[in-house]
């Protein structure tokens, strides 16, 4: 009889631990596509939420990839998965990636680390659950890197928008120009969008 109890205990220990929160995941980083895109074992392709690294063909792109590779490749990371849209338009999982401390607790926010290291800018995409403003408030790192990014325009037009405007979302990242205020936009020759009425 005692043998059966021992066997039962042994089997229970083999079962994977239940995650603390249903929206959390963790896994080993098996591939780094570029600065802001990685593959996590058991999860799939992950796009770091609300930050944007240069593409590989752009200035700084290879350096951003190298930074992410050095920090994350082969390491265990925690993921906070976006619960609103979940996936971006390329089908990648939108996440905050966090380092894992030596004691197994959640460590530094890698999305922030990438920005603080100069390998990404903050792009606060509003259709996900995350607000990058909170990341720097809670860490005390850096000054607010997005305070001067209130409105966005395109170098191809003369309109400026709230970043969440549907027309703003059509602007190619390469053509984005950011303004800290309406006066800033107007002094650069831009006029308010008639859809989102930025003020």
The burial of 198, by beta-carbon neighbours within 10 Å (0-12 exposed, 13-18 middle, 19 or more buried), is given as buried
Q: What is the largest CA-CA distance in the chain?
A: 84
Contact between 195 and Zn ion by CB under 5 A: the answer reads yes
Tokens representing residue 110 in the block? 């890698």
Q: Does 179 bind Zn ion (CB under 5 A)?
A: no
Residue nearer to Zn ion on the CB measure, 75 or 166: 166
User: Whole-number minimum distance, CB 168 to Zn ion, in Å?
Assistant: 6
40 scored as a contact of Zn ion (CB under 5 A):
no
* Of 165 and 185, CB closest to Zn ion: 165
- H/E run at residue 51: strand 51-52
The minimum distance between CB 178 and Zn ion, in angstroms, equals 14
Count of residues binding Zn ion (CB under 5 A)? 6
> Which secondary structure element, helix H or strand E, spans residue 183, and what is its range?
helix 182-187
Which CB atom, from 75 or from 169, has the smaller least distance to Zn ion? 169
- β-strand 106-109 against 37-40: which pairing, if any? unpaired
Upper half-sphere CA count for residue 98 (Cβ side, 13 Å)? 18
Angle, CA of 192, 193 and 197, to the nearest 5°: 75
User: Measured from the CB atom, is 36 or 123 closer to Zn ion?
Assistant: 123
Least distance to Zn ion, CB of residue 87, Å: 25
User: Which of 111/154 has CB closer to Zn ion?
Assistant: 154
**x-or-dash pattern for Zn ion, window 136-175, by CB under 5 A?**
-------------------------x---x-x--------
Q: Compute the least distance from the CB of residue 157 to Zn ion, in Å.
A: 11
SS (H, E, C) 66-126: HHHHHHHCCCEEEEEECCCCCECCCCCEEEEEEEECCCCCEEEEHHHHHHHCCCCEECCCC
Kindly tell me which of 119 and 161 has the beta carbon lying closer to Zn ion: 161
Q: Which of 25, 38, 96, 193 binds Zn ion (CB under 5 A)?
A: 193
Closest approach of Zn ion to the CB of residue 198, in Å: 7
Binding site for Zn ion (CB under 5 A): 161, 165, 167, 193, 195-196
């Amino acid at each position: 009889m005692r043998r059966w109890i021992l066997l039962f205990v042994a089997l229970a220990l083999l079962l994977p631990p239940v995650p603390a929160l249903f929206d959390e995941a963790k896994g080993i980083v098996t591939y780094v596509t570029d600065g802001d895109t990685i593959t996590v074992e058991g999860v799939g392709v992950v796009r770091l939420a609300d930050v944007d690294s240069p593409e590989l063909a752009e200035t700084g792109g290879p350096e951003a990839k190298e930074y992410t590779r050095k920090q994350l490749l082969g390491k265990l990371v925690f993921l906070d998965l976006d619960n609103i849209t979940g996936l971006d338009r390329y089908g990648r999982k939108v996440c905050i990636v966090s380092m894992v401390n030596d004691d197994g607790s959640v460590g530094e926010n890698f999305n922030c680390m990438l920005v603080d290291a100069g390998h990404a800018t903050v792009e606060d995409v509003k259709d996900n659950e995350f607000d990058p403003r909170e990341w720097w408030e809670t860490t005390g790192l850096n000054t607010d890197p997005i305070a001067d990014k209130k409105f966005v325009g395109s170098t191809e037009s003369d309109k400026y928008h709230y970043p969440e405007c549907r027309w703003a979302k059509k602007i190619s990242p390469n053509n984005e120009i950011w303004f800290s205020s309406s006066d800033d936009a107007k002094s650069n020759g831009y006029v308010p969008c008639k859809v989102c009425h930025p003020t």
